Each structure stands twice: as C-alpha cells, then as structure tokens.
Structure 1
C-alpha cells in the first residue's frame, strides 16, 4: 500500500535522523493517556506544555508523544485538538493561548500565523489520504471485493460516507480536492459535485471514526494514521490524489478549495505536519523542548502511522537556538 519511496521505518529515516535518535535513550510508550488535554486549561505551569494541534494527531500526542516526552523530561503535555483551520482561528483571535501549535497543513500555518505569532516552523511528518471503512457494511464488502471506490461511493445512500468539515479542517478540504482530482483522473464528469451531495460532513474527527466503527456510517475519507489509531481497514487513494507524493505537488495544486468563513483558499499540496512555538507562549522553553522531541524521535511518529522520509524534518524560517534540525 505504501510505496517504497514513502514507507519509513527506523532503518530508513536517514543518517541525520539516526544520529539524533542515537543521542537519546529509546523510549517506550505507556498504554495510559498521560497527555490528555482539558478544554480551556491551557496554563502557564512550567511543569506542563500546552499544545493546540490538528485533530488527526490527538491519538499520536496522547498515546505516543505525550507519555514518552513526560517520561524523558518530566513535562506533561496538555493537548487540545481541533480542525487545523479552527486551530489557526483560535490562535489568531486568542481564544486559545497554546505554547506549541501543530498543523496538518504546513502552508496553512505559515499563511495564517507568520508575522504575528511566529516566524519559523519545522515540518516533522507526512501522511496519506484514503478510505477508512467498516468491513461489515455493504460498502466495505464491495470495496474488499475489489470494486472501484468511486463507483461504490456514488451508489451509497446519502450520509453513508463521511468527510471532515472542509471549512474547519484540511482533512475535509483535502477530501473535496481528492474528489476533484479523481474526477479528472477517470473522466467522471460531475463526480465531485455528485459525491458532495451524498456525503456527510462531520466536524468532529473522533465522532467521524466512531460512526464508521459502529456501522452507522459505512466509510470516511481519512488519513492513514487515523485508520491505524483505530485498527480500521484502510484503502489508500492512488498517488494521483492521495497527497502523499511530493513529486506530484504541481498536480495536486490544480485542485483548490476556498473556505466559507475566512475565505481562505487552500491549494492542493502534499500532506505535511509542522510545529512551531507561539511567540506569546507561557512556557516557551518547554515548547522548544517538545518541538525538538518531535524532531529527534521519528520512531514514535512511525509507530503512530505517520511517515518520516529522508527529507524530514525540514525547517522554515529562522529557528531559535533551542531547536536544532
């Protein structure tokens, strides 16, 4: 499912990443949730670091990064998770006051936050788009029988297939962009609009996954790591519209989506997660440590279903002295 150029394990993270990993003790993750966030409780306690992150990384921070980071540093990760568009809005209007900001769309963070809240970031992981499905539904059975997803999707009942809310979340607008690119790929006139008339837009990613798991929804357009988090069957979209192949960036860029609320136009681009420390952070030192930890522990990200190729981590802007890539 994953091409050789995209699949990464600890033998293929690149010499630079390996050097960093070797400077650290290999950490084991706890099965308990140590880094769970409580809404509205982003505080200034120096024994904690507050994170406002894209929702698709909730499980990654709570079960992988958070416990391991606290085990090494004694600093507790307190995370809150929303669609990345909503994350940017909360930072911009200061509804939330996080130390670390993490986006599922690297360009979105730069477009929205550079100049006022930060002037640097580090891309630390990649992902791919596809279909997470319930194998006990008619949709799932047909998918496992090898029928093309785009034919089955048009044959579903209204609401059987979920996507994220494209006005709140890159996961949502990437689904719309994937439909557009698939329409061109297969010569399916009107496919994007016909499918959008059928899908259910779910603003809450945990709720979207729960719907598929329970069978109340047949499937959802999700990231690979989300399916891994839930042990859910997953069919990766072809490279032409899975947003996982940097060499196809120009093709991805031919699909756009403009959000209703902010009027932000998102151009199709490879899925890249990036992180920065808020200029207004209460605990900037802890924030820098957490970003450095993301850089230095790619094995935890891979365990969580993300990918980390030789081109990552990759900095943009002028990094603070405390962060070394």
Structure 2
C-alpha cells in the first residue's frame, strides 16, 4: 500500500529550497555573488554603516500566508537609526558557527565591534532575567524562551529567523557504527556497551530536545512507535550529560568519552563526523498541526522549568536593556538579507524567509527589522 505523501509545510519548503540552493551553487559562487550584489543590497536597504539610506517595504493589506492565515502588512518608508560603536550578543551554542562567520562581514559593513558570548539558550536568557546583565542581542534556539521569559518585562518583540532538526552523531569506530542506520539506531543505542551524550536540559534546548527525541520514539505516531518503553528506559540509562557546555559534545565524541550524541543537524552536518538524520516524528523538524500535536507528547522537567515538545524555531530579540539597540536591530536585520541567509545555510541551518515577528508586537519592532520582516499571529502551528 502506498502511503500518501504529506503536503509540505512552511519549514519543509524552506529546507527544500535551501537544499536546492546548496546543490546549485558552490560556497565560492555564493560568496562571490554576495560580494557583488548581496552586500551592496544590504547597504542600500539598511543604510550600512552610514545609516542614511531609506528603506522601503511594500505588501498588500490582508494578504494570505502559505498557511491560510491573514497577515496585516502595509507600505512603510523609514530611515533606520545610524549604527556605530560596539555591542554584546548573548546566544545559543548552536548559533556560534553562523554568528562567527557573520561577525567579520557585519563589522566591516557597519563599523560595529561585535562581542559574542555563546552558551545554552536557557542560560543565555538567564543572564538577562536573573543576573541583571545587558546585551544588545539575545539569540536562542527556542524562540519560546523569548516569548515566555523575556517579553514583556525585558523586551517587547522577537523575530523567528531560522530552523533546525535533531540528529544522531557518532564516530566511525563507535560501538555498532558499522551497523547503525536510520532504521535501527535505537537498537544500537540500547546496547550495554554504548555511552550516549547530550547537552544539559536545564541550560540548553539542545539538551531537552535530545530527551524529547528519545521520548517520542516510544510514542505512537500514525498507529505505531519506533520502540517500546523498555528500549526507551535503556536508552535513558545509557545517556549522560558530559561536563562542559553543549559545544563540547563533538570533542568528547572524538576523544572517545562518548560513543553517540544527540544534537542539532546543523552541527552534525558540518562537523566531519558521521551522523544520522532521524525520523520526522522524533527530530522536531516538521511544523504542521499533525506533527506539532505529536511533538507535544514529550515533556522534560528541569531545574529551570518544564519544557514541552514543539517544532524547532530559533528567535532573536533586542532586549529593552540593550546598550546599543540600533546595532542590535542591524544584526537581526542582517540575517534577513541574502548575506545572512546564505551564512545560515552554509552552516547547516534552514533560514526563514522572510523573518517573522509577532503581529501583536509589530509596533515595537525597530524600523530596519520591520522593513525586512512579515508580521503574523502564528507560524504554522506555532503561536507567536
């Protein structure tokens, strides 16, 4: 019996688009094209380091998005604030590769000195909400941390700008590496001689999403589960949170301290180590109502809160305590341009084009961000 193919959702369409882009153009071609057109377009849109250009965004009132939702947009012409000085960015560890690649290009374009602090998204958020620290940008791998913990006391808005999925990474000499596949990974991981690592769920969404991935494998989806509760319990017994941050997982895999690690596909696909793309019912990649309902069956309790499964969506904001809000807004804007989206794609992420901001807070969004964004009340099944 042939299974009916599910209609593509907004995330899958983005992923397929950028996969085609990657296949059609080499990295050198991308950067060459951006050097001639992308960066010039960015300067013309945002005003560049001089901040004097005028940006115009045009859309139709009451237009419909791909999910059938009415969106309210209008024609806006504004001159964004001039950008200069320096800024600090608190951000997720999984954003370190694209943010590191973007940093020198952004600094050259805007004349801003960028200082970044990568850490788990929960811990990055707590720097603002619990430690009283200030940053001009907060970038997290789970936008809900901004929606639920930053807004409204520490910020007024956020933008969803990229997506990801969970994967399983290992070494070529990991126990069972010569046998493992997408169809049996749980059998390998439930063996006695296997050590599985993931980030700390209390400080990093990559950690609680790893546990969710394991949980979802035992939950029925379309009439069947990947494995039973006993296999799940064994996988959990074989799982550990290694010392160090989530960015240390690859090093501990290479050293042999870990045999397998659950982490983001963006990290796995750019690391040089072998990895497995997981089934969509466990990898948190599909933003449809059917998958979102399934993902919500997963729940992880931690010392920093309880987290429920949902499609992966990254968010950025300029907090109210930002020392340099103009530079922060320019950083968010940058990842809505061809240059920024290409960097995300180069680093294994799936850009959201255009970036999306909540309809309820669109009046608080800086002009230079609103000029390259669309405002919605939801994105697929995700409430904004």
Counterpart in the other structure of 2:240? 200
Deviation at residue 4 of structure 1 after TM alignment: 6.4
Q: TM-score, normalised by structure 2?
A: 0.71
How far apart are residue 112 of structure 1 and its match? Answer: 0.7
1:16 — aligned with what?
A: none
| Change in 2 beyond 3 A, CA 1:136/1:314 | same
1:273 aligns with 2:314: yes
Counting only pairs closer than 5 Å after superposition, residues 136-175 of structure 1 correspond to structure 2 as: 136-143=173-180, 148-157=184-193, 160-175=195-210
Change in 2 beyond 3 A, CA 1:280/1:314: same
In structure 2, stretches of 5+ residues that fail to align are 1-10, 23-33, 43-82, 220-224, 374-384
Q: Deviations over 1:220-275 (max 9, x none)?
A: 00101111342222211100011111011121111111222x3x221101111110
Find the counterpart in structure 1 of residue 158 from structure 2. 121
* CA shift for structure 1 position 9: 2.2
CA distance in 1, matches of 2:217, 2:183: 15
| Number of positions where the alignment pairs a residue of Structure 1 with one of Structure 2 | 294
Q: Which residue in the other structure is 1:217 paired with?
A: 258
How far apart in 1 are the matches of 2:187 and 2:172? 17
Of 251, 258, 262, 2:301 maps to: 258
Distance apart, 1:129 and its partner CA? 0.2
Ranges in structure 1 where 5+ consecutive residues have no aligned partner = 14-20, 28-44
Q: CA deviation at 1:71?
A: 2.3
For residue 56 of structure 1, the aligned residue among 94, 102, 105 is: 94
> How many Å apart are 1:23 and its aligned residue?
6.2
Larger of the two Rg values belongs to structure: 2
Counterpart for residue 246 of structure 1: 287
SS class of match (1:241): helix
Quick one: distance in 2 between partners of 1:295 and 1:206?
25
2:62 counterpart residue number: none
TM superposition shift of 1:206: 2.4
Please give the alpha-carbon distance, in whole angstroms, between the structure 1 residues aligned to 2:188 and 2:120: 28
Residue by residue over 1:78-100, the C-alpha shift from the partner in whole angstroms, topping out at 9 and shown as x without a partner, is: 11111111111111023532110
Q: Distance in 2 between matches of 1:126 and 1:171?
A: 13
After the TM superposition, which residues 104-119 of structure 1 pair with which residues of structure 2 at under 5 Å, given as runs? 104-119=141-156
Structure 2 distance, partners of 1:46, 1:259, is 40
